[in-house]
Structure 1
């Protein structure tokens, strides 16, 4: 259910995805989802954010821990491109979908998404610092990487191509040099 919810959030957005669709995609019964997620869709979304972070976060950390900033940035964007082109699902990030779809009463969801994006930024920031980029430049560039990545995913979806990821990589490389 969590994996199917992540795919649906990524494809349709958090706000536009209902339990009924998740249940259908997961091939289970509606009562099962309420049993596992008694706090409803918010609890399910928190688990989706954890799932995505558990898959993406360690990969970003590993790449950033043993590569220079340009190579790490290129590896991160190449990984995203590989995921995007490796399936039938439209480009997008389930964490961003949750953040964008969360309402004013969803402070826990916004905090969960913020924490994930901060961890991803921190991994790249540490790479930058280790390679001689001082703060606050390292913090700004790490933010630019994650914001550029997420923005590129939106452009990839609207343009129907992965070229925005390439343009973000080229722009970030110029900024790093």
Structure 2
């Protein structure tokens, strides 16, 4: 039985995210998306009248929201150390489980030039900003000063993305493990240095 045409849009977006993870933005063509999703060719411009650029942009927005949702669940933990550890453990499982082929779809659109489609970079920047805001809010709830909370959050996202690239290049989970351990220690230090609550 063939896939339902009615879910072609969702299948194309999911396939685009998967292709961005594995191959990057330049190699994520309409033909590859159709082959992977099994969606009919006619559905492309029906669901994405802006063509490949619209498909990529919506995939980046969706990927950012999906990861943002995962981060929001992680940062609900009472212990910020546990939240950071779980965030990196999840990425370690994802990267190793893909045999070091799967990266971050948001980064995929940033590293390729898109002078003709600046909205892709803007969408990626918005996703990263949302992730950082979630971690900033977590640290603020636990008494870390605003400036330090923002710096830690930026470091977490930057280290996560850089760690993934190193893992893929080295075909080893060791870089993400090292990043996770170092950030764990930094968060411990930041929590110890919290200002004492006002009497």
Length-normalised TM-score, structure 1: 0.92
2:65 matched to 1:54? yes
2:110 matched to 1:96? no
Alpha-carbon shift at residue 43 of structure 1 (Å): 0.7
Matches within 5 A, 1:21-170: 21-87=32-98, 90-170=101-181
Structure 1 unaligned spans of 5+: none
Aligned length: 177
Distance in 2, Cα, partners of 1:6 & 1:54: 12
Distance in 2, Cα, partners of 1:165 & 1:89: 12
Cα pair 1:10 1:94 within 8 Å, conserved: yes
How well do the aligned residues superpose, as a CA RMSD in angstroms? 1.6
Q: Which has the larger radius of gyration?
A: 2
Question: Aligned to 1:90, what secondary structure does the other structure show?
Answer: coil
- Number of the residue aligned with 1:14: 25
Cα pair 2:100 2:168 within 8 Å, conserved: no
Segments of 4+ in structure 1 off by > 3 A?
Answer: 85-89
Question: Aligned to 1:35, what secondary structure does the other structure show?
Answer: helix
Which deviates more, 67-76 or 143-152? 67-76
Structure 2 unaligned spans of 5+: 1-11, 190-199
